[in-house]
Amino acid sequence: MPAPTEPPITVYGWELHLTGPSTTQRGSDKYYRVLIIGNTTLVNYGRRESSGQFIAHRFPTGDGAKAKARELTNEKSSKGYVVTRDMTDFEVPAARVRFTTKLPLGPSKPSGVDGAWLVDRFKTAAAEQGTVENGASR
């Protein structure tokens, strides 16, 4: 009898950018990606054309992850970041995001994340769904 396969996980994501010059962010060209994976908010941030860094915020429920994502997005918006990839949902194999189940509650630097693959999947889905705006990273 074949082993049962795990159903894919739906991930929700969007991306914001800050480009300068501005009075507080001279010459800035930064991105801030927010991905919701179950009960985890995964953030990828850095300068454009870099792979950036990841930080995860794990909660007991998905509602906590959604609230954190809203909070972080509102903080960045108030600093001048604008949406360049709007809400995009996409499926990924459960094995690709299993690392989220091993994270402690609260913020942490995740290990075992294939960030490049996850970001590429997000970007591809955004292009397919037409959620990419002017100024999005390549």
Question: 72 to each of 68, 75, 95, how far by Cα in Å?
Answer: 6, 5, 27
Residue 3 covered by a domain: no
- One-letter amino acid for residue 89 of the chain: D
Residue 34 covered by a domain: yes
Edge-to-edge strands, sheet with 40-47? 82-92, 9-19, 29-37, 40-47, 53-58, 106-108
Residue 82 covered by a domain: yes
CATH number of the domain residue 43 falls in? 2.20.140.10
What's the confidence (pLDDT) of residue 3?
59
Residue 132 covered by a domain: no
pLDDT tens sequence across 17-69: 998 765 455 568 999 999 999 999 999 999 988 889 999 999 999 999 999 99
pLDDT tens sequence across 121-131: 999 999 999 99
pLDDT tens sequence across 85-110: 999 999 999 999 999 999 999 999 99
Residue 136 covered by a domain: no
Range of the structural domain that residue 90 is part of: 9-127
pTM of the model: 0.90
Q: How many domains does the chain have?
A: 1
Q: How far apart are the first and last CA of the chain?
A: 44
Residue 138 covered by a domain: no
What's the confidence (pLDDT) of residue 5?
83
**Cβ–Cβ under 8 Å, residues 137 and 15:** yes
Handedness of CA 19, 25, 30, 34 (dihedral sign): negative
Residue 135 covered by a domain: no
